[in-house]
Structure 1
Amino acid sequence: MNARLRRVIVSTAGLALALSMTAACGKAGGDKKDSAASGDNKSIGLLLPENASSVRYESFDKPFIEAKVKSLCADCKVLYNNAEGSAAKQKQQFDTLIAQGVKVIVLDAFDATSTESWVKEAAAKGVKVVAYDRLATGPVAAYASFDNEKVGELQGQALLDALGPQAPDDNIVMINGDEADPNAAQFKAGAHKILDGKVKKVVYEQSGEWKPTVAGQKIGAAITQLGKDGFQGVYSANDGMAGAIITQLQGAGIKVPVGGQDAGLDAVQRIVNGDQAYTIYKAYKPLADSAAELAVDLLQGKDVKTVATTTVDSSTDKNIPAKLLDAKIVTKANIKDTVIADGLYKATDICTADYAAACTTAGLK
């Protein structure tokens, strides 16, 4: 074999060896990437809907979920984003989490009717979605919330109680939540179930869109249409809207029972002060804990039915494993036995200088 031929053979062999090593390295890198995409990461996505009409998400849901995940999985981390009232922004956040390799997402959808395609795409990539607080459309793996129709029933009953024995002669105004939110429809259905036939009439009913400014505008329109004496009570789907409604009523010189939902600190203070009749307390920690447990179980490949004790149906899917919790009516008479007893607030949180006298009257110290 001449020297030239030997050089060709050696060069060819060297090239082949280099190509095989490159392919091997590429395959090893690919395996590493595939392994990450297969779900061995320790990240759980958390997407919450807004922070304008309710302080609960930043103050309670987020820290409670983060703490529970940490207690169940010490090396897990929560990747959090808030949609700030934008379905489009939440979709971008959802897509980013999937691109980051997250295999479980806890989703409190700003617009639950728009999520079907998101959740389907996620499922196709092996990403599990836990619907949180409101039931997202699409093949979600599990759901944690309250029995929302029962919440509406509690709201309706609390308003009846606030109206008293003259309720059958009273007209009421209803300012409901966002029509795009399935929870709002359930609250509304539950409230009507209790109120219909037990008050004289619902004389004005509109959506406040979960926005205090909109709710204030709607109650203003009701006052213009019905007059100051045209209604004797107001159902508000949540506390944020109730606050705006009460402000408008006070400005017009109208004093009627108004109730809400969420047990926000400002709402509890309004109750102590006699401005708001009631709120609905949905204990955030048990809800957050349930969602965190479901998420960690899904991440670790465990059966969620140890947490999810029932099933629910959405408009797109059936028999979704679910954990549904109970809520409570909060009035001035039981603040101490509900939100204070559960540690949601201390008496000192509620009884600031502006409410000190009202707290003394209510027996809160």
Structure 2
Amino acid sequence: MRLNRRAAAVSAVALAASSLAACGGGSHNNNSGSNPSSSSSVPAISNSDFTSDFSAMETLKPLAQQGKGMVAVLLPDTTTSARYTTFDAPYLKEAFQKAGLSSSQFKIQNAQGSASTMQTQAEAAITAGASVLLVDALDSGSGAAIEQNATSKGVKVIDYDRLTQGGPSDRIYVSFDNVKVGKLIGEGEVSCIQDWGVKNPNVLIMDGDPTDNNAKLFAQGYNGVLDPKFKSGDYTKVGEPAGTWDPDKAQTTFAQQYTAHPQMNAVVTPNDDNANAVISYLQSKKVPANTFPTTGQDASLSGLQNILKGYQCGTVYKPIYLEAQSAAAIALYLRAGQPVPSGLVNGSTKDDTVGKDVQSSLQTPLWVTKDNMADTVVKDGAVKTSDLCISSLQQACKDAGIQ
């Protein structure tokens, strides 16, 4: 999917820019290469420069001309979230192309859920002359092995979207503020419980896969919001079973919990695909709309439609075109052996395996409901109105100001 192009920065970009503007300027010495050319020949860029038309990437064409080798992107799967094929792959491709890389200078692959496939893809890319690996690992164990092997061969590494625990010390992590993502989910659940008039909230917490560091950060965020509610007795926590990103497993887990806890009347679901699986089960039990809060993440088509239907409270919208541009830009600096500007590195994330902070480029997420859907994901072109507003949802779209 491509974005609708707009002359002005969209609202989500403005939100991200306001929080990142203070990070611009200067340079960050990350030992990314040797023999740098004069600073006047190296373009400077900041996270706040990225917009939905990818125009900032065009300023990096001189940098692309300096670089050597291929940038290899390794994405994890096509089942845990639709984002990797719908957003990440096309946005990364556009970012590299706008910066002037030819089709032979970058490669985007998906491991289809297989760690061994990703390892094979990484080794093939290195053999083919990759100088930078951009890795969204399936799990930290396999991801760290891939990254350490790459580093031993002089290949630079970027952790994309999720941190690989135990990865190389000089890597850069590009993602969103994932504790904030979780906090938005928790706050969305609280607001929804109140707005939908849920009495004596009995809440199930459903986490993402425990091998995913992002899932840990999400849980940190929403548990930080909900734990005080449980401790005060305002809410009852019915359980927090082992997490997963597999929607089928999530539905099975929820069905078991629903049977074991018939008093349950709210659930925290960590992404739209898991939420959709839960909602399908609730609908099979004839649970009416606007009575059983669920949450989500990724602003997927199914998640947005479930919000309009009244089965999902909201979803965390992460403008992935910002994340993709930041990752592509950092890859270009590393490929050219140039220091990454500090405007692209605005934070740090703890790697618990090695006990060190990893320099990070973090974007700002946004909670989307019926009230702001038109002014965020729809305005950004992250979803087509024709796809969203199917015949059964045309009135709901109209009520939400979506034309």
Q: TM-score, normalised by structure 2?
A: 0.77
**2:274 aligned with 1:241, yes or no?**
yes
Distance 2:249 2:228 in 1: 28
Partners of 2:137 and 2:143 within 8 A in 1: yes
Distance 1:77 1:267 in 2: 35
Aligned to 1:258: 294
Aligned alpha-carbon RMSD (Å): 1.9
Aligned to 1:30: none
Distance 2:324 2:120 in 1: 23
**2:396 aligned with 1:358, yes or no?**
yes
**2:328 aligned with 1:301, yes or no?**
no
Partner SS, residue 176 of structure 1:
coil
Q: In proportion to residue count, which structure has more helix?
A: 1
TM superposition shift of 1:285: 0.3
Aligned to 1:47: 74
Aligned counterpart for 1:155 among listed residues 185, 192, 217 = 185
Aligned to 1:36: none
TM superposition shift of 1:208: 4.0
**2:213 aligned with 1:182, yes or no?**
yes
Task: List gaps (5 residues or longer) in structure 2.
Answer: 1-65
- 1:23-62 CA-to-partner distances (Å, cap 9, x unmatched) read xxxxxxxxxxxxxxxx964411011011013211111111
Distance 2:70 2:392 in 1: 44
Distance 1:148 1:112 in 2: 17
Number of residue pairs aligned between Structure 1 and Structure 2:
325
Task: List gaps (5 residues or longer) in structure 1.
Answer: 1-38
Partners of 1:156 and 1:195 within 8 A in 2: yes
Partners of 1:141 and 1:321 within 8 A in 2: yes
Partners of 2:209 and 2:244 within 8 A in 1: yes
TM superposition shift of 1:347: 2.5
Aligned to 1:71: 98
**Higher mean C-alpha deviation, range 154-163 or range 243-252:** 243-252
TM superposition shift of 1:84: 1.0
**2:191 aligned with 1:164, yes or no?**
no
Partners of 1:142 and 1:304 within 8 A in 2: no
Partner SS, residue 351 of structure 2:
coil
User: Which amino acid in structure 1 is aligned with residue 346 of structure 2?
Assistant: T
Distance 1:312 1:194 in 2: 21
Partner SS, residue 258 of structure 2:
helix
User: Which amino acid in structure 1 is aligned with residue 108 of structure 2?
Assistant: Y
Inter-CA distance 73–311: structure 2 relative to 1 (3 Å threshold): farther
**2:259 aligned with 1:224, yes or no?**
yes
- 1:321-356 CA-to-partner distances (Å, cap 9, x unmatched) read 210111011111110111012221233331122321
TM superposition shift of 1:311: 2.4
Inter-CA distance 313–238: structure 2 relative to 1 (3 Å threshold): same
If asked which structure has higher relative contact order (CA below 8 Å, sep 6+), I would say 2
Aligned to 1:13: none
Distance 2:364 2:181 in 1: 8
Partners of 1:154 and 1:280 within 8 A in 2: yes
Distance 1:168 1:313 in 2: 39
Distance 1:303 1:176 in 2: 37
Counterparts in 2 of 1:1-365, with a 5 A limit? 41-75=68-102, 77-137=105-165, 138-139=167-168, 141-164=171-194, 169-199=200-230, 200-227=235-262, 230-254=263-287, 255-306=291-342, 307-317=344-354, 318-365=356-403
Larger CA Rg, structure 1 vs 2: 1
User: Which amino acid in structure 1 is aligned with residue 152 of structure 2?
Assistant: A
TM superposition shift of 1:183: 0.5
Inter-CA distance 286–129: structure 2 relative to 1 (3 Å threshold): same
